Amino acid sequence: LPTIMDPVYGFQVTNVEASMASPSSLLHWTRRMIEIRKQNPAFGLGTYTELPSTNPAVLAFLREYGDDLVLCVHNFSRFAQPTELDLSAFGGRHPV
């Protein structure tokens, strides 16, 4: 018998074939994140600098390796959260 017999999360709905057909699936998101990590060595090799956030539910940090600088902002709440980050030291840079 299948492990999960559920109309929402059962194998008939949640499977690789369905995930491959849906651009918003966790499978596609994970593949995009792996590709981004491969393109930015700072994720694995860079220095880690935490940035102060005005919201305790938001963690922001920088990873830097050579010319590669990555700003990571994580929301640990289940709801959208506002925050303010001081990025004045990075004037002239543009997010991609």
Domain ranges for the chain, please list them.
1-39, 41-96
H helix or E strand, kind and range, residue 39: helix 26-39
pLDDT digits (tens, 9 = 90+) for 32-77: 999 999 988 998 898 999 999 999 999 999 999 998 889 999 999 9
Reading phi first (left if > 0) and then psi (alpha if -120 to 50, else beta), residue 66 is in: left
- Residue, of 43 and 4, whose pLDDT is higher: 43
Which residue in 21, 53, 30 sits closest to 13, CA to CA? 21
Task: Specify the pLDDT at position 64.
Answer: 93
CATH class for the region spanning 41-96: mainly beta
Q: List the beta strands (DSSP E) in 4-57.
A: 47-51
Task: Specify the pLDDT at position 94.
Answer: 79
Which residue in 63, 41, 37, 40 sits closest to 50, CA to CA? 63
Q: How far apart are CA 1 and CA 62, in angstroms?
A: 47
Task: Specify the pLDDT at position 26.
Answer: 87
